[in-house]
Structure 1
Amino acid sequence: MILVQNLRRLLNGSKCLIGLSVLVWLVACTPKVRVLRAPGSKEPTQKTETPTEKEDAVAKPAGKEAVDFNQIALLLPFELNKANQHAPSAVDIKRSALALDFYQGFKVGLDVLSAEGANFKLNVLDTRDDAGENARIAKLEEVREAALVVGPVYPKEIQVFGFNAQLDQTLQISPLAASMPSEFNFSNLVTMTAPLPVHVRALATHIAGQYKQGDVVIFYQTPDEASKQLLTPLRTELRKLKNGHIQVVEVEDEDGLGSRVHLGGKNLIVLATTNKYEISPILAQLQRLQEELSYDIQLFGHPSWSKLGFDADDGLAAFDTRITTSYYIDKNAADVRRFDQQYRNEFGIAPTEFAYKGYDAAYYFGSLLVKYGPDYRSHLEETAYRGLHNTFKWEYNAAWGYVNNAISILQYGSGGFRPIN
């Protein structure tokens, strides 16, 4: 049974906007799950629980009487204080879109667990993307009594909320920010989006695996910040591998590239700019070097390249171009198609990236809460997850909490980037 209070208003025939104060009560409890996967990829074994077993599953530990281990607080920047509550405009909807999409995906994730017999109470709070509001929310009963806090999403909100909330053993999930968790230093923080240093380590390991004697790694330096942030630590990581025997050279322009490529082995070129106008002429030069002069070239790019909209004319496929990623959506997978249909049926629109992220967060952490109750935190590192969008593999640091270290390698082909591992 699901009770929804002041939940949403239909806009323009399809888009929903959540009301200013949202309190969602989801009633239910889930079967025991050992290996967590998105529903459809592997069905868990159902188990019917007696009322006594259900009460035991949510029992409060000594000294934490205020915590309800069925209760989740979801903190998202709807910014409804800026919206016209009687006739929301297109601007109002756009402002709330990220938060709304994540919430709707989160709700579907809890609905799936509810259908399996789960029991949750979800409090949805509007952080307004405002530091003062986050400080206020941090003191609310809905937060103090929550067993799990998901959000806020923006770095400044995470910092202010975490400082004021004093959550102790309750986990605070950072669902979207790719910031280094050392910026916050909260031991209970869970960073879902792998930060750049995790990508750097994975890329260095992959390049080292491709590298053979006679090859050369070429860093193509561009003046933008994205290039500097990736290439500087990547050089450091590569030095640690293969006993420092990986040859790395740096170039800054076409002349430099033309003078440093060689025919005696493979040229592993790392281009880390995210400026499409910078990338295009460099790709054209690489095509000439490979097609006209027979240089063997493999290209590695920035994680953000998956969103830059390359096409066949850019020539990425010819270089077996690879990037790192912490997420991937396989639109042909049965569980993804099932979610897409359920989402369209309920909300009348196609899910976005943020809806998938919301679903994976709800299903993963909701399953842990049901399975382990008060002890759910201690099982994060041992419980990996491959979902619709995210893969989770946690590494714990006593200073800044749990960081997702699950990175995949994508290779460009057939009009897009696809996993190779």
Structure 2
Amino acid sequence: MILVRNLLLPLNGSKCVWVLSAFLLLTACTPKVRVLRAPGSKAPSETETPTKKEDTVEKPDEEEAVDVNQIALLLPFELDKANPHAPSAADIKRSALALDFYQGFKLGLDALSAQGANFKVNVLDTRDDVGENTRIAKLAEVQDAALVVGPVYPKEIQVFGFNAQLDQALQISPLAATMPSEFNLSNLVTLTAPLPVHVRALAAHIADQYRQGDAVILYRTPDEASRQLLAPLKREIGRLKNGSIQVVEVEDEAGLESRVHLAGKNLLVLASTNKYEISPILEQLRRLQEELSYDIRLFGHPNWSKLAFDAEDGLAAFKTRITTSYYIDNGASDVRRFDQQYRSEFGLAPTEFAYKGYDAAYYFGSLLVKYGADYRSHLEETGYDGLHNVFKWEYNPAWGYVNNAISILQYSGGGFRPVN
């Protein structure tokens, strides 16, 4: 286990300075986390331990610190619940999301620092606790920051934003897919496109695929994911093409067989995320297509990308498509480069959250470097196509900036891939 507290590094040249107020866990099953030293720093490079006294803090020169971009990074390490002497598997699992995002974020700022940028990052443990978020919202590390990244959980986002009352700094919601209208924070930036954005994109895609004589069928199942997506999707499709697309709903095998068209395509939306609900429906769709020659085009829930499908499910034959707000192309050179760097520095493969951390750091760090305190006014005009995310913003004065970048994936070769 490594203890890193109040570590300040001299700002000679281009550097990224990290000030951590949390313990970073280190066990055999987790990546090694080093004390982050700026290039060229005269500070000792060895790892600090709980038994070693902290070195004398070398404070940055005021004149040198003028161009340093200050960032507050708020993540739920929940290290107050961990055993500081012998972290358990549960302790490691609890902190994994925060640690992965933090490590990706670090590499994103490292890339900018190598190009000449200066950053000071205060890392704060939100503990997944409303009271702790209320407390840290008033800290100087937050109030003086040009950019605040986090908290990540919905219950923390609103209480932190209400108490922080940030003026110019943006508050980045890096992971939550909650509709930002639930928070009503005008300076909030929602990176993960919420469900209504997916609904609009899916409706537009279905309308684009639709031709006269086709059938649009919504297959209702009792689970919540299906209810949340299908009702707004029906309304949205009804608004398109001057209301000429007729949408029908079914909820069982008999209803489906009475509604499919032999002439034309059957554009069928199945929004369940319960594999036990999905499997028998797929079996019926295979029979309709293979034995009775119906043309079935299937559209699923965005979370289908995380479900385990195989060749027997028949998704490829239905040209199954889903919407997504992110995609990792493992064959891309920049992705392979990041993967190699992450493995070299931390000793294991990056997760989805590490990619998200890198993209957030590189995008917003670049804006800070280019525009300084005025970066907020350039957000809408500055898109981003990163390792994992694409950013395209829509602004609402009541709830801030929402990422509207949605892609369409089609199932082929054992997985979902972008439609060309």
TM-score by length of 1: 0.88
Kept in 2, the 8 Å contact 1:76–1:99? The answer is: yes
Which 5+ residue runs of structure 1 have no aligned equivalent? 29-53, 59-68
Q: Paired residue for 1:15, among 31, 34, 41?
A: 31
Aligned to 1:103: 102
Aligned to 2:43: none
Kept in 1, the 8 Å contact 2:79–2:95? The answer is: yes
Aligned to 1:182: 181
Aligned pair in 2 of structure 1 residues 17, 341: CA closer, same or farther (>3 Å)? closer
Aligned to 2:9: none
Q: Distance in 1 between matches of 2:17 and 2:272?
A: 48
**Equivalent residues in 2 for 1:2-401 (5 A)?**
8=24, 10-12=26-28, 14-16=30-32, 58=67, 70-401=69-400
Q: Distance in 2 between matches of 1:128 and 1:250?
A: 44
How many angstroms does 1:250 deviate by?
0.6
Q: Distance in 2 between matches of 1:408 and 1:395?
A: 16
The one-letter amino acid paired with 2:308 is: G
Q: Distance in 1 between matches of 2:314 and 2:38?
A: 50
Kept in 2, the 8 Å contact 1:15–1:349? The answer is: yes
Q: Secondary structure at the match of 2:73?
A: strand
The one-letter amino acid paired with 1:72 is: I
Kept in 2, the 8 Å contact 1:26–1:121? The answer is: no
Q: Distance in 2 between matches of 1:151 and 1:70?
A: 17
Kept in 1, the 8 Å contact 2:19–2:120? The answer is: no
Q: Distance in 1 between matches of 2:330 and 2:103?
A: 19
Give the alignment's Cα RMSD to 1 decimal.
Answer: 1.9
Q: Distance in 2 between matches of 1:273 and 1:89?
A: 36
The one-letter amino acid paired with 2:334 is: D
| Alignment coverage as a number of residue pairs | 382
Q: Deviations over 1:99-145 (max 9, x none)?
A: 00000000000011111111000000000000000000000010000
Q: Secondary structure at the match of 1:185?
A: coil
Kept in 2, the 8 Å contact 1:74–1:125? The answer is: yes
Kept in 2, the 8 Å contact 1:26–1:122? The answer is: no
Q: Distance in 1 between matches of 2:312 and 2:29?
A: 39
Deviates more, 1:199-208 or 1:9-18: 9-18
Kept in 1, the 8 Å contact 2:25–2:92? The answer is: no
Which 5+ residue runs of structure 2 have no aligned equivalent? 1-14, 41-63
Q: Distance in 2 between matches of 1:156 and 1:17?
A: 29
Kept in 2, the 8 Å contact 1:80–1:96? The answer is: yes
Q: Deviations over 1:4-57 (max 9, x none)?
A: 667745311643479xxxx968689xxxxxxxxxxxxxxxxxxxxxxxxx988x
Aligned pair in 2 of structure 1 residues 14, 222: CA closer, same or farther (>3 Å)? closer
Q: Distance in 2 between matches of 1:129 and 1:13?
A: 23
Q: Distance in 1 between matches of 2:222 and 2:297?
A: 22
The one-letter amino acid paired with 1:254 is: E
Kept in 2, the 8 Å contact 1:410–1:420? The answer is: yes
Kept in 2, the 8 Å contact 1:395–1:402? The answer is: yes
How many angstroms does 1:87 deviate by?
1.6
Q: Distance in 2 between matches of 1:169 and 1:27?
A: 31
Q: Secondary structure at the match of 2:95?
A: helix
Percent identity, aligned pairs only, is 78
How many angstroms does 1:418 deviate by?
0.3
Kept in 2, the 8 Å contact 1:410–1:418? The answer is: yes
Aligned pair in 2 of structure 1 residues 178, 302: CA closer, same or farther (>3 Å)? same
- Given the alignment of the two structures, is residue 411 of structure 1 paired with residue 410 of structure 2, yes or no? yes
